[in-house]
A and B are shown apart, each in its own frame.
Chain A
Amino acid sequence: MAGLELLSDQGYRLDGRKATELRKVQARMGVFAQADGSAYLEQGNTKALAVVYGPHEVRGARSRSRHDRAMINCQYSMATFSTAERKRRPHGDRKSTEMSLHLKQTFEAAVMTQLYPRSQIDIFVKILQSDGGNYSVCVNAATLAMIDAGIPMRDYVCACTVGFVDETPLADLCYAEEGGGVSSLALALLPRGGQIALLQMDARLHQDHLEALMEAAMTACKGVSKVLDEVVRLHLQEVSVLSAE
């Protein structure tokens, strides 16, 4: 059985994009009133909801609190209806735990936690529909939610997955591409300074190709940041118009 041809000779991918093109990103901030911050983000057919509470005092075990900075608590989950086949995912799913940990590390690097000692910030992310690039969509959604909540960050955190096919880096993989035996790399970037918040890869890749792949990932992340910035500005405009009235 022949595998799918991920990149045609004409340079088109399965869904008609070129190698460097991102999926369509649409987002809204402030979708819930009761949380401190919230955002809904679609990247292609992957849809995620992010909610932020805090900063507030540490709940539960006091011992976890840090005297010099805020603690970040992340929880990632997928809706049972998010994939083609319905599947119940009780908490403690290994993949979700790992993803939660990754999100936590990402945001610890971006949020200015030292401003809120002995407090806690909660980030909850839910994937409503999954079509590849779950991690990066979660990061992007959570960034918007953080901004909505007004928590100071060093920069937007923008994430993107890239894959490597036929000596060409592909930006923003969809589910079919992720499953097609591509070695993929996830990168979370603070675009203005070009600092890397998280870099994750669990496939084999020749060392020579890594640089090209990183380069593509950074470009893609910067593209995402532009979109997010527009969303934030638009939201601010709406909010300021409302408050002016």
Chain B
Amino acid sequence: MIKTERVLHLKSCRGRKVRVVREHYLRERVPCYSALCAAGCDNRDGKVLPGDLTHYVVPDVGVVVDYLEVLEVRELQGIVFTQTACQALQHAKGRRQYNRLRNLLKDPRHDCVLFTNEFQEYSYCPREKGESQDQWQTRCVYSAAVWYYNHLAGMKDVVMITEDREAVAQYGSLNSGVYVISVRDFLLNFWPELQAAHELYSSVSLALQEKESEVSEREYAEHLPAEVLEAGIKSGRYIQGTLNISKHRAHSEASITAEGLSNKNSDLSWGVLVSGAKNRNRAVHGDVVAVELLPRSEWRGKDTALTEGRGEEAGGEDGGRKPMPTGRVVGVLQRNWRDYVVTFPPREGPPPQSRNSQRILAVPWDHRIPKIRISTQQADALQDHRVVVRIDSWESTSLYPNGHSVRVLGRAGELETEVQTVLIENCIHVPPFSDAQLKEMPVNCPERPWAVDPAQVAQRRDLRDSHLVFSIDPPGCEDVDDALSVRSLAGGARLELGVHIADVTHFVAEGSLTDLEARTRATTYYLADRRYDMLPAVLSADLCSLLGGVDRYAMSVMWELDAQTLSVVRVWYGRTLIRSSYQLHYQLAQALLDGEPAEVPELAGLGSEERGGELARLTGALETLTRVARNLRAQRNRGGALELEGVEVRAQLDEERNITALVPRQPLEVHETVAECMIYANHWVARKIQESFPHQALLRRHPPPRQEFFSQLVDTAAARGFSVDTRTNKALADSLDRAEDPRDPLVNRLLRIMATTAMSQALYFSTGLQAQDQFYHYGLALDRYTHFTSPIRRYADILVHRLLAAAIAVDRGSDPGGAVASNKELEETARHINTKNRAAQRAQKSSTELFQCLYFKDRDPQSDQRCVADAVVYSIRDNGVLVFVPEYGVKGPVYMKNREGEVAAVGQDGRCTWQSGAVQRHSDRITTTSGCGSATFRLFDHITVRISVRSTHCHADALVLDLVVNGPHRRAAEPSAPPPRSQGRSSQLVREVVRQAEEASQQAQEKEARRPELSREEREFSQTKTPNLYSLLEEVRELALLDPDGVSRLCASTA
């Protein structure tokens, strides 16, 4: 190593200039990460550039800083980032951009490496006297490029790309193998067919030009420098928090949710209000900002009236008008800009002539995001299209942020476009699995059938002959990830219960491409009409699926229970080899249990005597299983498990049934039996991994809800004369059971929905980061819980499987090695999975809403009977009520007072008309008074509403509910209960919408032969969803708890 020195001029904390001398060590051996390297570089850790490329690319500092996005295009290969450029990026663009580059370098799917040129003896060039920083950086990068060329002995040409014309002129012809060209030339010469990169490049460069030509007229106050903010936050002068813009009054209202403020200052525990765009000072939804409190005289309250904008009100309790702390944003600590979907507005007036690029104000799909100014040459072509854009900057001189377009999704209003919009708005990226990923997968096709590996047979416990294993799922299920077994031991004194889960981790090695992709996706995404799998189909539907009659690897938990008391005597965890004998479905299993005659397809080939024996064996096993499950359920109920899913999942199943249309209305006992076994397995695995790895086990906790959130529930229940005790989960469960109105089953259902809204969300976490008493799962009343039973569709389960395997290895005395992630890594992964789960829920919800809107869009609300439905009032607001429409599972506002100030007057026959009058709100009712008398709407009243769609051009369409009759809808009074009908109706809803969309797309295809590639790919990729019931219940439960008006305090899921 050679030691040199580097002189830096830095600013000291007091603002004085200080001359700092830093050491700088150079070495001869710096890994080059190229497969061609003949000098024996140590390229073992990290990615290696392949040798079969035509050239390597070394981007200049300016290119990395401004055009990193272009370099992120995955098709561009052989990129060598220099350390000089990385440091410049960190300096110029901050930590976030730098992390993006770091992730890019770590991503094995992306072909790029980092060369630490400044630590290499021969590529380092010290800065000369009088040399500007830019010149010096260019020289550094160039010398790195030359070093690469020489290091690889001239075998590979090196291209340095720069935006600096002088550099091209100065260095262009110095060396034969090293070319210096501009980015545009580079793309044109080497990647002429890569349209995406070209478009991105021109879009970014236009945005940069735009920035230079800014006029300087100040619209906003300048942000304070970072040091001042930091000091201010420490001293308590400013408050740090995440900006949360109100969905309903996006232009005026935003609030700060601050971390850890509640204990210090009770005034601020509900957050700080930021009102108006000036006070918001260029912060965008989700940014971490610092706010300064305004004097008390300027404090304001939130509005509680329903607004036409969007409808429902977040957390509008009584007295919501009371002034709350109000502040203004003084600085942004962390921008959280993501990709936004915007719609290009239709142009008014004649096209401008001579200009080749135009500035367009595009309207984002999300109400909370301000309009984005984009300069583009394709403004005409993109009218009415939805486009993905990124925000580049927001200067204080500009009313709107500047951005650039990334890619075009399609015309607004088309099904494919809208579904893509939903995905992007929720930050979900699900490209088709790449060839490299699919290459890792084992093969199973008729020519080369997959077979069990003898080495694995030796390692695993073989249950193929000793145990009767069966699975219970919905009919037609493809991905069976759990199977059960039960048998008696020791002459009947003991019972052995086994839960066998597909051994996904055997096929998905840690760190493999499939693993990385699964980690990125974190879960399988279910949308209303399609699903995006977490794992490739060969695993999820075949090799990992515990199908009947074939050998499969499994991860098993087996309990030995005392046959009488059913207490656990011994638990065994391990990898097994199973062959499922029966692939039952729920109705069949229930029929067997009930002793009804049933046809088991697996036994069809046997003689009647044999069949009888086998059937008796199977039925016996099912009966034992049911007995055990009942016992387990009773145990948990004593602990206070909430039966929130009981009634209310069924309510929401209307929506969910869109997807399967297979789940029976009446839940059979066997559903609960299976679910209970899975919960039990999850619980015991949680115990095991927590005991083996006290600091780095992945568990799932469900914190108790905050009591304040129950106030709405308690008040609403009181309106019907029920008292709800919310002190503990047991008390809550009991009082919810009591709150049953014999005349109206919907009351209980609505109360349960409200209870779930008040819940906090269940989360994955690493045990090292929480105290043990925080592990509690409130909804299930278990002290430790995790997810173990669905590794095919949840990444958390894969992690838990790995932990369990490591725990078993520790028990055997062998070293788990690097298999166990550290607490910090695990917590990071857990946070990622939590975010993705939330995104998946939101995406599912918005896609459901999308389908509801598409369904009602083509119907005339005046004439079509299907647009009139029964609704139940569940909340009272200043100028209207919130209702729930059980038939379609829709919640929304109904206005009693319209914009003209007229109120809904109720005539003799209950018909409603608009007349001038007044509205008076009470705690449990709302009264309208007008010329023809007054009408009162109470909580839980049934009213009839008409559903129509309010189309907006740029945002998602919304459903509008209008009051028709003050009384139950006539059809609801029919003797046949509405649910079965709604089942048919809802699944029909999706089918109809899909059919319409397909017809439309066919017509479009006929019209123009060239349809976007993307949509066809996506259609190919979409599959029908056939999960087992347990997974479905869980899915649904998570969905069910989403209340449209509570995104700010995201609902709970009890699993």
Give me the interface of A with B, judged by CB distance under 8 Å.
1-2, 5, 8-10, 12, 14-17, 21, 23-24, 44-45, 84-85, 131, 167, 174, 176
Complex contact A84–B90 (CB within 8 A): no
Which chain A residue shows the least CB distance to B94? A2
How far does the Cβ of A22 sit from chain B's closest Cβ, in whole Å? 10
Q: Which of B23, B31, B114, B227 contacts A1 (CB 8 A)?
A: B227
Which chain B residue shows the least CB distance to A208? B695
Complex contact B114–A10 (CB within 8 A): yes
How far does the Cβ of B256 sit from chain A's closest Cβ, in whole Å? 21
Chain B residues 205-226 with CB under 8 Å of chain A are 226
Q: Give the CA-CA distance A8 to B118 in the complex, in Å.
A: 13
Complex contact B114–A9 (CB within 8 A): yes
B106: chain A residues at CB < 8 Å are: 9
Q: Kindly state whether residue B665 has any CB partner on chain A within 8 Å.
A: no
A9: chain B residues at CB < 8 Å are: 102, 105-106, 114
Which chain A residue shows the least CB distance to B227? A1
Among all A-B residue pairs, the 10 with the closest Cβ atoms: A2-B95, A16-B25, A16-B119, A1-B226, A15-B23, A84-B18, A24-B3, A44-B23, A17-B25, A84-B20
How far does the Cβ of A155 sit from chain B's closest Cβ, in whole Å? 28
Q: Which of B27, B98, B102, B114 contacts A16 (CB 8 A)?
A: B27
Q: Which of B19, B22, B26 contacts A14 (CB 8 A)?
A: B22
Q: Give the CA-CA distance A72 to B837 in the complex, in Å.
A: 66
Q: Kindly state whether residue B719 has any CB partner on chain A within 8 Å.
A: no
Complex A-B: 26 CB contacts under 8 Å: A1-B226, A2-B90, A2-B94, A9-B114, A10-B31, A10-B46, A14-B22, A16-B26, A16-B27, A16-B118, A21-B1, A21-B25, A23-B3, A23-B23, A44-B23, A45-B21, A45-B22, A45-B23, A84-B12, A84-B19, A84-B20, A85-B16, A85-B18, A131-B23, A167-B824, A174-B23
B712: chain A residues at CB < 8 Å are: none
B520: chain A residues at CB < 8 Å are: none
Which chain A residue shows the least CB distance to B90? A2
Interface size on B, residues (CB 8 A): 33
How far does the Cβ of A199 sit from chain B's closest Cβ, in whole Å? 26
Beyond the given A1-B226, A12-B119, A16-B24, could you list 11 further A-B residue pairs with CB under 8 A, ordered by the A residue number? A1-B230, A2-B94, A2-B98, A10-B31, A10-B114, A16-B25, A16-B26, A17-B25, A24-B1, A167-B824, A174-B22
Interface of B is mostly: mixed
B923: chain A residues at CB < 8 Å are: none
Q: Give the CA-CA distance A21 to B116 in the complex, in Å.
A: 17
Q: Kindly state whether residue B173 has any CB partner on chain A within 8 Å.
A: no
B27: chain A residues at CB < 8 Å are: 16
How far does the Cβ of B59 sit from chain A's closest Cβ, in whole Å? 18
A12: chain B residues at CB < 8 Å are: 116, 119
Q: Kindly state whether residue B822 has any CB partner on chain A within 8 Å.
A: yes
Q: Kindly state whether residue B131 has any CB partner on chain A within 8 Å.
A: no
Complex contact A167–B822 (CB within 8 A): yes
Known contacts A9-B105, A21-B1, A24-B3: A15-B25 contact under CB 8 Å = yes
Which chain A residue shows the least CB distance to B124? A16
B24: chain A residues at CB < 8 Å are: 15-16
Q: Kindly state whether residue B864 has any CB partner on chain A within 8 Å.
A: no
Q: Give the CA-CA distance A212 to B25 in the complex, in Å.
A: 25
Complex contact B90–A45 (CB within 8 A): no
Q: Kindly state whether residue B447 has any CB partner on chain A within 8 Å.
A: no
Q: Kindly state whether residue B5 has any CB partner on chain A within 8 Å.
A: yes
Q: Give the CA-CA distance A2 to B20 in the complex, in Å.
A: 19
Q: Give the CA-CA distance A14 to B118 in the complex, in Å.
A: 11
Which chain A residue shows the least CB distance to B99? A2
Q: Give the CA-CA distance A13 to B542 in the complex, in Å.
A: 48
Q: Give the CA-CA distance A1 to B334 in the complex, in Å.
A: 10
A167: chain B residues at CB < 8 Å are: 822, 824
How far does the Cβ of B820 sit from chain A's closest Cβ, in whole Å? 14
B105: chain A residues at CB < 8 Å are: 9
Which chain B residue shows the least CB distance to A5? B90
How far does the Cβ of A103 sit from chain B's closest Cβ, in whole Å? 25
How far does the Cβ of B335 sit from chain A's closest Cβ, in whole Å? 13
B90: chain A residues at CB < 8 Å are: 2, 5
B230: chain A residues at CB < 8 Å are: 1
How far does the Cβ of A207 sit from chain B's closest Cβ, in whole Å? 11
How far does the Cβ of B779 sit from chain A's closest Cβ, in whole Å? 33
How far does the Cβ of B33 sit from chain A's closest Cβ, in whole Å? 10
The digit string for B798-831, where 1 denotes a CB below 8 A from any CB of A, is 0000000000000000000000001010000000
A84: chain B residues at CB < 8 Å are: 12, 18-20
The digit string for B152-182, where 1 denotes a CB below 8 A from any CB of A, is 0000000000000000000000000000000
Which chain A residue shows the least CB distance to B14? A85
How far does the Cβ of B1012 sit from chain A's closest Cβ, in whole Å? 38
